[in-house]
């Protein structure tokens, strides 16, 4: 249900009615199959408990985007807000042919950009929903997903579409390029530890580097890609039953594959080793494109906060997440 809200603001003694629509979407983690998913493998991803909120509202000036730290006009190509601008331009070109609409898109995010936690996908999904709602369009989830995918392309070049599906639908999803996502229900819900290394990186560059590796080693790559699909089916199975020990050991196998395709770094290897020092940690891996970014770890039930407390001393952007079932959400305005 679209939540149209009118904000009453006082300007020059007149009471102005400001129309606005807000939507939010969660970030995501990838549990298996990242990179190989670009080449046709199955992958498993899940929503996290950190969200991006986008509010579309009236403006008297040019259409623009604002966040806590930056502002930029929609028509300016200054490299800022690429995903949001691409989504907004796609919506305008498809649905508002005369380009009459004037709006401000305000963004508030709990997800560090470039961390591999789905910041650009979440922002693209929330923007597509908030802006289409603001323009009075009632788009299906499939249409929102397609538009968000355009935003992802403008940032990452050749994405698989996994990120925007995970952020849109929430929960745990099994994904293969070109197929409908399959939502996996969890019979014994669990938590995972997420640690941001603090090292930003470019997904597009890493995806290109893996593409080069595939060209040099086509047969070996194919075998790894097939095995990545197998790992994804197992990951889906053990997530469903909540078997964290098995999940942890699959994370370790998956990490070895990601290392071979060249997306781990010494820093990330050391981080994984130090997280796995505790007996309560069953295994850890990169989540997302790698090259820095974030890792996830499967931790024995009941010990998540103990491990978090130890890890956050060196890596302050660490948290424990459940797998929230909710993806895209229409919001009451919070940023007026
Ligand atoms: O958005 P990131 O950095 O978490 O990585 C996306 C996952 C990749 O498999 C590397 C790329 C893709 O489009 O699936």
Q: Which two tokens stand for residue 55?
A: 């509010």
Residues lining ligand 1, judged by CB closer than 6 Å?
30, 34-35, 37-38, 116, 118, 156, 159-160, 162-163, 203, 207, 288-289
Identify the pLDDT of residue 277. 93
Mutate which of 30, 176, 295 for ligand 1? The one with the most ligand atoms within 8 Å of its CB, which is 30
Q: Which two tokens stand for residue 193?
A: 């530890």
Catalytic residue among 163, 243, 270, 279: 163
d(CA 264, CA 330): 37
> Is pLDDT at 30 greater than 70 in this prediction?
yes
287 DSSP β-pair partners: 294
Instruction: Check if the beta carbon of residue 105 is closer than 8 Å to that of residue 119.
Output: no
- Strand ranges across the sheet with 318-321: 281-287, 294-299, 192-196, 318-321
Instruction: Check if the beta carbon of residue 133 is closer than 8 Å to that of residue 23.
Output: yes
Q: Whose CA is nearest to atom 4 of ligand 1?
A: 288
The string of pLDDT tens digits covering residues 138-169 is 899 999 999 999 998 988 888 999 999 999 99
Identify the pLDDT of residue 333. 57
d(CA 332, CA 327): 16
Cα–Cα distances (Å) from 28 to 64, 168, 324, in that order, read: 27, 10, 10
269 included as an active-site residue: no
Q: Which two tokens stand for residue 86?
A: 């691409």
Ligand 1 center–CA 240 separation, angstroms: 23
Ligand 1 center–CA 336 separation, angstroms: 33
Closest CA to 186 of 171, 169, 176: 171
Instruction: Calculate ∠ Cα 201-163-141, nearest 5°.
Output: 150
Cα–Cα distances (Å) from 302 to 188, 263, 280, 299, 305, in that order, read: 14, 31, 9, 8, 8
The string of pLDDT tens digits covering residues 228-282 is 999 999 999 999 999 999 999 999 999 999 999 999 999 999 999 999 999 999 9
């Amino acid at each position: 249900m679209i939540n149209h809200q009118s904000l009453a603001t006082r300007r020059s003694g007149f009471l102005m009615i400001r129309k606005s629509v807000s939507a939010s979407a969660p970030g995501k983690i990838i549990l298996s199959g990242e990179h190989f998913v670009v080449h046709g493998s199955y992958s498993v991803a899940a929503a996290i408990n950190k969200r991006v909120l986008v509010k579309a509202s009236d403006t008297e000036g040019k259409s623009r985007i604002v966040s806590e730290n930056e502002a930029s006009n929609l028509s300016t190509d200054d490299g800022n807000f690429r995903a949001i601008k691409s989504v907004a331009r796609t919506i305008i070109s498809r649905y508002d042919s005369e380009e009459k609409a004037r709006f401000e898109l305000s963004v508030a995010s709990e997800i560090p950009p470039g961390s591999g936690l789905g910041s650009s996908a979440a922002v693209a999904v929330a923007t597509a929903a908030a802006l289409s709602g603001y323009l009075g369009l009632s788009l299906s989830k499939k249409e929102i997903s397609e538009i968000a995918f355009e935003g992802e392309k403008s940032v990452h070049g050749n994405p698989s579409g996994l990120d925007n599906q995970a952020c849109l639908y929430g929960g745990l999803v099994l994904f293969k390029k070109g197929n409908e996502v399959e939502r996996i229900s969890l019979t014994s819900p669990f938590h995972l530890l997420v640690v941001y290394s603090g090292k930003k990186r470019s997904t597009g560059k890493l995806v290109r580097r893996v593409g080069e590796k595939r060209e040099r080693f086509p047969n070996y790559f194919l075998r790894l890609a097939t095995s990545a699909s197998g790992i994804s089916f197992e990951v889906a199975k053990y997530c469903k039953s909540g078997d964290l020990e098995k999940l942890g050991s699959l994370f370790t196998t998956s990490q070895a594959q990601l290392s071979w395709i060249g997306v781990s770094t010494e820093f990330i290897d050391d981080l994984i080793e130090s997280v796995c020092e505790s007996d309560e940690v069953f295994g850890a891996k990169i989540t997302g494109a790698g090259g820095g970014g974030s890792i996830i770890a499967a931790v024995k039930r009941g010990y998540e906060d103990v491990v978090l407390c130890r890890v956050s001393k060196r890596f302050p952007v660490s948290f424990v997440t459940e797998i929230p079932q909710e993806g895209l959400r229409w919001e009451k305005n919070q940023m007026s």
